[in-house]
Amino acid sequence: MLKLYKRSEAELLYWEAWDSGRELVIHEGVVGDTGTSRTVKLRVLEKPQAAIRREAQPFLREGYEEITLDDHTQLVIQYRGEGTAGLGKRSAVESVLNETLGWTGNGHCDGGDIGGGKVNVFALVLDPRLATKSILAALRAERLLKGAVMAVQEGDVLKVVWPSDHEGDFEY
């Protein structure tokens, strides 16, 4: 898989490609939007990595580039008091985050943990505001929003961004 990004005047653009058997999936758009996808068949005897590099060339010439993890912001979704149901909830939320962030070009789920009566699911995102909006919509659609608290890294602290009436500090 290869992910490339380019900042325009008003938005962050993404282009990504991955191997899907004898073809590549090419997905591109504006970070925060689902974008468009297409498939490209591999040439005879062509290795997927070579095809990805070939397909990426026009975008690299336009100024798209890979970015580092340092360009991402941590986002955490927490549920309290889950007990033994926590593992199922963690798995479901991780899946929602991977789908939502992946298809909007806005990062990825980075795992989670369970302990001390809390379930935490971690994500690394490029645009926290857009990620919050799309994640809230996806969790609501999957009926996983009840009891969730979402926080985003701001400097050395995690600031709660949802729900708006949350009181107290965020700890994980």
Closest CA relative to residue 7, chosen from 124, 126, 99, 104: 126
87: its two tokens: 């593992």
Closest CA relative to residue 112, chosen from 144, 140, 143, 66: 144
Q: Which pLDDT value is given to residue 1?
A: 93
H or E stretch including 53?
helix 48-61
Q: How many CB atoms lie within 10 A of CB 135?
A: 29
Q: How many CB atoms lie within 10 A of CB 108?
A: 15
Residues lower than pLDDT 50 in the chain: none
Domains by residue range for the chain, with CATH? 2-61 (2.20.140), 69-162 (3.30.70.260)
Q: Which pLDDT value is given to residue 117?
A: 86
Residues with Cβ within 8 Å of residue 101, at least 6 apart in sequence: 107, 108, 109, 123, 125, 131, 134, 135
CA–chain centroid gap for 29, Å, is 14
144: its two tokens: 């996983």
